[in-house]
Amino acid sequence: MSKIHAAITAVHGYVPDYILTNQELETLVDTNDEWIVSRTGIKERRILKGEGLGTSDMAVPAVNGLLKKRGISAEEIDLVIFCTTTPDMPFPATANILANKIGAVNAWGFDLQAACSGFIFGLTTGAQFIENGKHKKVLVVGGDKMSSIINYEDRATCIIFGDGCGAVLLEPNTDGYGIMDSILKSDGAGAQYLHQKAGGSVKPATHETVEAREHFAYQEGPAVFKFAVTNMADVAHEVMERNALSADDVAWLVPHQANKRIIDATASRTGLSADKVIINIERYGNTTNGTIPLCLWEWESKFKKGDNLILAAFGGGFTWGSIYLKWAY
């Protein structure tokens, strides 16, 4: 019997309409367009505006677009894995909220939290259920409403993050396409450099925590950059080396869109030329769990069946990882 791989058979994305430009940020914090672009590569990012709208509201159009493309109904989905750092609420899982909104009445689901590496961790997790024959259709969603945890008076974070969501469908493939290998890593010693101080069980919400603005993302930029620039590049190189892939063998590098300099370092480490590197950070910024699926969505028409793709990410935790997959359509 041929080995079962978990193949991506459809992808779709959604970004909100509102565009937050560097010029607008200049009116909020002490920064300027040249400074932001030179350090991050970001020119604008999307923001989800509107009362009562959360991460699941971006996932609905992304998933509905995917279902339409694949020509299937939501009832056929077996499992929903929602990779997010900004769930609609602490509980229940946003995966359950999404399943209800789209009518995935036969699916069970859960949220996966690994900060910016979440989508790669979720893709690998979803693949297990396909590979072991348990499920036939697994929906992996990556999305964040980062604007809900960003302090727009903090120059270190507000220039980086945006809102967006993407989704992929995993199905069994016996023709040698799909997720071939993955390397996932984490190191909790990095928690101090990138976290949200309050709102968890250690420091529940109080008047004081709100006044101290502790319900926002906190980042020590230099420490995070130093760790990310090495580890994201190394793990991408490691997965290529383990599968005897040269730069010539790889069609596309799909890097987490955290910072243009980190992306460039990863491309350099893997030996991939700029024309093989997928970048949309200039338009969307860092959408955390949304970056990689949004890249797949935007470049979908350029992928050819059998293309070797290397996905790589780095996030809070610290978490990092890489996936080698063969595009299936």
Residues near 157 by beta carbon (within 8 Å), at least 6 away in sequence: 150, 151, 216, 217, 218, 219
- Name the active-site residue from 12, 83, 116, 158: 116
Secondary structure of residue 139 in the 3-state scheme: strand
**Which amino acid is located at 69 in the chain?**
K
Assign 199 to helix, strand or coil.
coil
Q: Which of 165, 237, 256, 289 is catalytic?
A: 256
- Tally the residues of the chain: 329
Cα→Cα distances 175→10, 86, 328, Å: 17, 37, 9
- One of 96, 173, 231, 286 is an active-site residue; which one? 286
Question: Is residue 237 annotated as a catalytic residue, yes or no?
Answer: no
Catalytic residue flag (residue 256) = yes
Task: Tell me the β-bridge partners of 21.
Answer: 44
Alpha helix stretches (DSSP H) within the chain: 22-26, 33-40, 55-70, 94-102, 118-131, 155-158, 207-211, 221-242, 260-270, 281-284, 291-299
Q: Tell me if 53 sits within 8 A of 20, measured CB to CB.
A: no
Which residues are marked as active site? Answer: 116, 256, 286
